[in-house]
Amino acid sequence: MTADSGPAAFGPEAYTQGDQFQRERRNLFGRNWLVFCAAGQVAQPGQYVNQTIGGWPIFAQRGTDGTLRAFHNVCRHQGMPVVEKPAGQCDQLRCRYHGWTYELTGALAVAPAQVAPADPKAQSLNPVSVAESGGLILVAVKPPAPAPAVEEFTGHGFAAAYSTDVACNWKTLVEAQLADAEWRFVWPNYFRRALENAAAIRQIVPRSFNRTRLVDLLFTPTGSNAPAADALKAELKSEAEALQARRAAGDLDPACPAVTDFRNRVTASL
């Protein structure tokens, strides 16, 4: 098996091994458009969202010129993170380790003399492809094609984001959610659902092979309040973590057609 090849079969190791996650990082998450956040979270100049998605540390930010950009969250000096908070607003990006400071365009603005590069113009932050569609922000490290159009929640605007970390592989969380037919899965990392007086995007954010973030982005009619965080999310977290324990023990159990299709698509992507 080569470094980029997929597993011969979709066994328990697909849910429990770092090697499998690294293949997914390169060949699946690195080569697909991923839902990253709501456009409403980066609507104002300087606003940013920062997270590790598919093993890639990335942040997206609205520039002072109104342009949306995304970058690898890696300082060009010694590879440390430039942005540390999960969300916020700023007019410059400063690495706290050695003081390299970047404009919101990604260009290096200033560096202390003792660590200044010979050619500052060659030390801009590494960009990530970014697109805005249907009220969402999508990112792609190595986009295979233009970003897909996202179906918009007509008459709704971004209202709130609720997140929780789940101790399981991302595929386990997807499979646990697939059991609920009220949520429609959109490859590769989110679900969508219409609610009473609201609508929701449920992001599956793979952080590492055994840690996944679940983010609910809520959209409501203009002027209305966001509903409280979905209580079912707590049930899903508990369900997924119990399912992960079964996966680790070698129990893959009979898969429903939706889960079988999902596993086949993951395997094909590797």
pLDDT tens track, the chain, 270 positions? 334 444 445 789 999 999 999 999 999 999 999 999 999 999 999 999 999 999 999 999 999 999 999 999 999 999 999 999 999 999 999 999 999 999 999 999 999 999 999 999 999 999 999 999 999 999 999 988 999 999 989 889 999 999 999 999 999 999 999 999 999 999 999 999 988 888 999 999 999 999 999 999 999 997 677 776 665 578 899 999 999 999 999 988 877 899 999 999 999 998
Same domain assignment for residues 134 and 209 = no
Residue 241 inside a domain? The answer is: yes
Residue 4 inside a domain? The answer is: no
Same domain assignment for residues 198 and 255 = yes
Q: Which of 87, 113, 140 is the last residue of a domain?
A: 140
Give the torsion sign (CA, 46, 84, 30, 167): negative
Residue 155 inside a domain? The answer is: yes
Say how many domains are in the chain: 2
Same domain assignment for residues 262 and 159 = yes
Same domain assignment for residues 207 and 101 = no
In 3D, which of 15, 20, 40, 252 has the Cα closest to residue 159?
40
Residue 250: Cβ-neighbour burial (10 angstroms; 0-12, 13-18, 19+): exposed
| 34/166 Cα distance (integer angstroms) | 19
Longest dimension (CA), the chain: 62
Q: Which of 77, 110, 140 is the last residue of a domain?
A: 140
In 3D, which of 91, 35, 101, 31 has the Cα closest to residue 61?
91
Number of helices and strands in the chain (H, E) = 5, 15
Same domain assignment for residues 26 and 38 = no
Same domain assignment for residues 66 and 116 = yes
Adjacency order of strands within the sheet including 93-94: 93-94, 101-102, 108-110
Same domain assignment for residues 131 and 195 = no
| 40/164 Cα distance (integer angstroms) | 20
| 201/151 Cα distance (integer angstroms) | 11
Q: Is the peptide bond prior to 188 cis by the omega test (within 30 degrees of 0)?
A: yes
Same domain assignment for residues 74 and 124 = yes
Residue 107 region, left (φ>0) first, then alpha (ψ -120 to 50), else beta? beta
Write down the pLDDT at residue 235: 85
Residue 211 inside a domain? The answer is: yes
Residue 162: Cβ-neighbour burial (10 angstroms; 0-12, 13-18, 19+): middle
Write down the pLDDT at residue 256: 86
- Which residue has tokens 């209305």? 224
CATH number at residue 124: 2.102.10.10
Q: Which domain holds residue 118?
A: 34-140
Residue 146 inside a domain? The answer is: no
Residue 109 inside a domain? The answer is: yes
The per-residue DSSP string of 169-222 comes to -HHHHHHHHHT-TTSEEETTTEEEEEETTEEEEEEEEEEETTEEEEEEEEEEET
Same domain assignment for residues 83 and 164 = no
Say what the pTM is. Answer: 0.92
Same domain assignment for residues 108 and 200 = no
